Amino acid sequence: MIPDVVAYELFLNFFSNRAPNERAKLQAYCKQTGLAGVDLDSIFAVANYYQQQVAPINARAQAIRESNRGSMMQDPMIVKAQLAPIAAEKAALVQEVIAKIPNFVGTGRASAIRQHIDDRIRPHTKIVPDSGMSQTQTQTP
């Protein structure tokens, strides 16, 4: 199964930067998946908090990828080595956000999110072999 950090990152990204007209679809998704008791605005709040915190990290990673575009094909290990500290920083940030989820949604609802991640996201997501082209690649069925 995928690590918690990857699963929570997928969850947070799923709810991030959504258009207002998607609210009904997301509410239906929550009801369908056991997140019915979790206030959608609270999920949006934690997802937006995550996006604000991760944006500078993602920008640094993107700058490294762009500055090494030619060398990624020749020697992807060099780029991977440059991205490793950023990936570690991002993983630490995700852990911090996971710890703060109860502050946004409440302890019981944080448990519902955890259950959703354990029951739906982790078992249905697999990591595909890294080609050196991106920091993390995931595939969901």
Give per-residue pLDDT as tens, 11-45: 999 999 899 999 999 999 999 988 988 999 999 99
Whose CA is closest to 58, among 18, 16, 101? Answer: 16
Confidence of residue 71 (pLDDT cuts 50, 70, 90): low
Name the residue ranges covered by the structural domains of the chain. Answer: 4-126
DSSP codes of every residue in 27-85: HHHHHHTT-TTS-HHHHHHHHHHHHHHHHHHHHHHHHHHHHTHHHHHH-HHHHHHHHHH
Task: Give the percent of the chain with pLDDT over 70.
Answer: 88
Q: Is there a contact between 38 and 109 (Cβ–Cβ < 8 Å)?
A: yes
> Mean of the per-residue pLDDT values for the chain?
88
